[in-house]
Amino acid sequence: MNQTNLIGKSVLIVEDDPKIRNLIKIYLIKDGYEVIEADNGAEAKEKIQQFDPCILILDLMLPKVSGEEICRWVREDLKNMMPIIMLSAKATEKNKIEGFKLGADDYVVKPFSPAELMVRIEAVLRRTASRCGKLSFTGFTIKPAKGEAWINGEQLELTHFEFKLLHTFMQHPSQVLSREQILNMIYENNEKSVSDRTIDVHIKHLRGKISEKTPKDYIQTVRGMGYKFVGL
């Protein structure tokens, strides 16, 4: 599996059984996905609106709001085409057909193989790549085509250069980047309009805007080497 292509792919797991939810989460994190969780239908609706995940792993028999209702709500009310993989103990052909008619992209019957589920997730994301024009990591979400960024659902007002900085960091999480590497990633053909040291000022401003939304220091200075973007 090509993990580089999976960086920033946010997955919402909606499953009321904590053992199943945690098992799926372990496999997803191992393969480089950003994981969001919900243990009931009402919470799932909140998380979908807050985080707009790239793919939804949806149990059907849920407390408060059923998986079928959530799927119908996503497709008909939100008009959202995020990929949906249904998980269910309902194994008849009729059940599967009903799931696909509601808008599911795949249907996995319980009990299932976690390894097979990972392959199915990768296949669905590959088929539906155009539906997720965003990048997510540890609470951050950006839409490169629109130049929009959020932290924990709150929008960040960034300059063009600050947005490029955040985009670069999110593409290389937990990796130490020198000032020169950052500038080479931001500017093609090494056409730089700022010096290596000027980038420190832009990072300071970016940090300040992030700190207005959260106390955590996501951009760490690595003495003598550069900067590293870290998770929770």
pLDDT, residue 72, reads 94
Q: What is the mean pLDDT of residues 181-194?
A: 66
Cα separation, 32 vs 143, whole angstroms: 19
Domain count for the chain: 2
Q: What is the tens place of the pLDDT at every residue in 202-230?
A: 999 999 999 999 888 899 999 999 999 98
Cα torsion 90, 94, 99, 101 to 10°: value is -170
Identify whether residues 98 and 79 lie together within a single domain: yes
pLDDT bracket for residue 21 (50, 70, 90)? very high
pLDDT in tens, 100-122: 999 999 999 999 999 999 999 99
User: Do 37 and 123 share a domain, yes or no?
Assistant: yes
Q: Are residues 17 and 120 in the same domain?
A: yes
Share of the chain above pLDDT 70, in %: 89
Same domain, 148 and 196: yes
51 and 154: one domain? no
pTM of the predicted protein model: 0.65
Amino acid symbol at 163: F
Asked if the model's pLDDT at residue 75 lies above 70, the reply is yes
- pLDDT at residue 145, rounded to an integer: 66
- pLDDT tens-digit map of 130-176: 666 677 777 888 887 678 898 988 899 999 889 989 989 988 888 99
197 and 119 in a single domain? The answer is: no
Better-predicted residue by pLDDT, 13 or 186: 13
Same domain, 158 and 203: yes
Boundary (domain end) residue, out of 131, 160, 194: 131
Residues 98 and 18 in one domain: yes
Assign residue 179 the CATH number of its domain.
Answer: 1.10.10.10
Last residue of a domain, one of 115, 131, 147: 131
pLDDT-derived band at 188, boundaries 50, 70, 90 = low
User: In this predicted structure, what is the pLDDT of residue 94?
Assistant: 93
Verify that 47 and 147 share a domain, yes or no: no
More confident residue, 60 or 198: 60
Q: Is residue 97 within a helix (H) or strand (E), and if so which, with residue range?
A: helix 93-102
- Where in the sequence is the domain holding 15, given as residue range(s)? 3-131
CATH number of the domain to which 16 belongs: 3.40.50.2300
What percentage of the chain has pLDDT greater than the value 90?
A: 55
Q: What is the predicted pLDDT for the residue at 196? A: 66
Poorest-confidence range of 1-10, 138-147, 187-196, 206-215? 1-10
Shared domain check, 120 and 47? yes
Does residue 124 sit in the same domain as residue 146?
no
